[in-house]
Amino acid sequence: MAQRASKKSADPVANQTSAQLVRDLHERMVRIRLFETEAGKLMEAGKLPGFLHLYVGQEAVAAGVMAALRDDDQITSTHRGHGHAVAKGVSFRHMYAELYGRVTGACLGRGGSMHINDVTLGMLGANGIVGAGIPIAVGAAFAARYKDEDSVAVTFFGDGATNIGAFHEAANMAAILRLPVVFVCENNGYAEFTPQSKHMLITDVADRAAAYGMPSVIVDGMDAAAVHSAAAEAVARARAGEGPMFIEAKTYRYYDHQGVKGLRHPYRSDAEVEEWKARDAIDLLEARALADGTATRAELDDTWQRTRDEIAEAIAYAEASPLPDTADLLLNVYSG
């Protein structure tokens, strides 16, 4: 059998200066924050059909992890997937057009908020079924190794999702096959309206990794730099063939489980929300950058403004985009 050449691509992530990294993390977080708050406004204005699970508050996790990845690295996401998609680089135009159900959207208007993907960027989709993306990432990691590529796969999921069988089966599978996959649990303390303390008896979800012989680390999910360094280490291990790793990021979502507004049933207190907002990931990064001189206020403001402009343009694009043609109802049900 012919010896195959190993296909290894250069790592653009390595050798970044810390100032570059800070600006990168900032930009990714700002993009998510603004994408999401605008989407929330559109939903409240009755312009978007379907469900909208907003990611605001958890930006540091998507930004920190994605800044440690290359374009050919694969991710799988959840019902709360916009943040991952934005951070992986999926275009605002494709995302808003999808939320509007337009044919120019990321899923040609067929998938909606919960299924946004861009396979050219290794974004293997948000997912409407809790936990379903986890085994898929294991499969993507398997494919990378099979093809002798050095890309890795990262799977994002919530605390609640680790109660589902697919998580446990996939974690064990990844561990015994020593696959290049990173498990990222975004522990925002709630599964829908159920607090973590009522759906599991452990405090640290990371404890679950030990059952499969998988190393784990717990990070402050409001600190993008901390998330990034944990992710960079896990990704490097995986790329080097040392197998999977589990990262638990303790974080928080500011908006409701679904939609924007507060709820009839107070499953968490306003004070709790405010406490977490006081440690906002973007504020934290900006304050640090300004204090240590890695960025100026003007530079940071410029990022906000450029992103705002880009979002306004993308929304206009989405609104002006055509609807799907009902004659194409059977498009893409099968391949080829």
Ligand X SMILES: Cc1ncc(C[n+]2csc(CCOP(=O)(O)OP(=O)(O)O)c2C)c(N)n1
Give residue 77's Cα distance to chain centre. Answer: 6
Residue 188 site contact among ligand X, other proteins, none (CB < 5 to 8 Å, cut-off depends on kind): ligand X
Nearer to ligand X, 201 or 291 (CB): 201
- Quickly count helices (H) and strands (E) in the chain: 12, 7
- Could you say whether residue 199 binds other proteins (CB under 8 A)? yes
Task: Tell me how crowded residue 327 is: count the other CB atoms within 10 A of its CB.
Answer: 7
Name the residue with the smallest CB distance to ligand X.
158
| Cβ 132 to ligand X shortest distance, Å | 7
Among 115, 208, 250, 253, binds other proteins (CB under 8 A): 115
Least separation in angstroms between CB 233 and ligand X: 24
Length of the chain: 336
Q: Which of 98, 118, 159, 223 binds ligand X (CB under 6 A)?
A: 159
Element (H, E) at 25: helix 18-44
CA distance 100 to 116: 12
Q: How far is the CB of 83 from other proteins (least distance, A)?
A: 19
Nearest CA-CA partner of 144 in 128, 125, 130, 124: 124
Phi, psi of 82, rounded to the nearest 5 degrees: -60, -40
Q: Is 248 in the site for ligand X (CB under 6 A)?
A: no
Residue 323 gets which letter from DSSP? P
Token pair 């605008």 in the structure block, residue: 38
Q: Which residues bind other proteins (CB under 8 A)?
A: 49-51, 98, 101-103, 107, 109-112, 114-115, 127-132, 160-161, 163-166, 191-194, 198-200, 265, 267, 323-324, 326, 329-330, 333
List residues near ligand X by CB under 6 A.
78-80, 128-130, 157-161, 188, 190-192, 257
